[in-house]
Amino acid sequence: MAQQEFLYGIHSVAAVLESEPERVLDVMIAKGRSEERINDIVNAARNNGISVQFVHRKTLDEKSDGEQNQGVIARAKPARILDEADLDKIFKSVQSSPNTIPFFLVLDGVTDPHNLGACLRNADAAGVQAVIVPKDNAVGLTPVVRKVASGAAENVPLIQVTNLSRTLKHMQQQGVWVIGTAGEATQIIYECKIEGAVALVMGAEGKGMRRLTRETCDELIKLPMAGTVSSLNVSVATGICLFEIVRQRPRV
C-alpha cells in the first residue's frame, strides 16, 4: 500500500480536514488564491497544526495528473479500507437506531472513478448508510473519486467486499430486500413498492450486473426508456433510483 496519497479539490480537502485531520500531512495552495473557501482550508489546516505551502499552479497540476484541482491539494496518509466487518458494524448501528431504516447502495463492478464519485455524492444526498463494491474489478477510493464526490467520500462509508453475492445473501438474512436494476426486468421502478430495509444494486458501465449478482437479487427493476438510447450513465441512473426509493420511504 502507498504510504501517502494526494487529495485535491476544495470540497475533498475541506472534508478530510474536518473528518480526519490526523491523516493530513500538509496542504499546498496555488499562489494568488485567497477567496473565502481557500482561506477556510488554510485556517482549518493551521488550527490542526498542519503545514500550508503556497506553490505555483504548475506544481499542483503535476501532482493531480491533469485533473482539476481547484488550486488546492492535501498530501495525506491513505485511509483505511473498509470491509465486511465494518459493514456488520454499520448495519448493527443502523438497526439499533429507532429512527433509521437500513438503506444501502451496491455497485457491481463500476470501474470509472468519475462514476463512483458521482454515485457517492448521490448516495450521500439520498441518505444511504454505506456503498458496497467488490474488491476486484472495481475502482476504489482514488483521489479522482474523492474529488468528484465533493466531500461525500468522507461521509458515506465505501465497503469493499471479497464476494459480493455472498455479502448480499448475508444482508438478506438480516432482513434487507435486495433490488437490482437490469434492462431485461419486466417491472419499472415506479411500479415497484419499496418499503423497509433495502439495498439497491446497480450494474457496471455497459455490462450491467454479473450473473451471480443478478440471481441473488430479490427483485429486478428497470427505468422506462422512451428515446433511442438503451441505457443511462450509471451515476445518473443511480440518482434516479435512489430518490425514487427516498420518495417511497416513510419519513422516520
Q: Is residue 87 marked as binding?
A: no
Bridge partners, residue 72, by sequence: 29
As a whole number of angstroms, the distance between CA 60 and CA 28 comes to 8
Question: 29: closest CA among 49, 67, 59, 5?
Answer: 59
Q: Is residue 49 marked as binding?
A: no
Give the Å distances, CA to CA, from 51 to 12, 62, 194: 17, 20, 49
Residue matched to cell numbers 462514476: 115
Q: Is 6 helix (H, G, I), strand (E, B) or coil?
A: strand
Q: Is residue 223 marked as binding?
A: yes
- Greatest Cα pair distance, the chain, in angstroms, is 57
CB 153 within 8 A of CB 12: yes
Residues flagged as binding site for S-adenosyl-L-methionine? 203, 223, 232
Residues flagged as binding site? 203, 223, 232
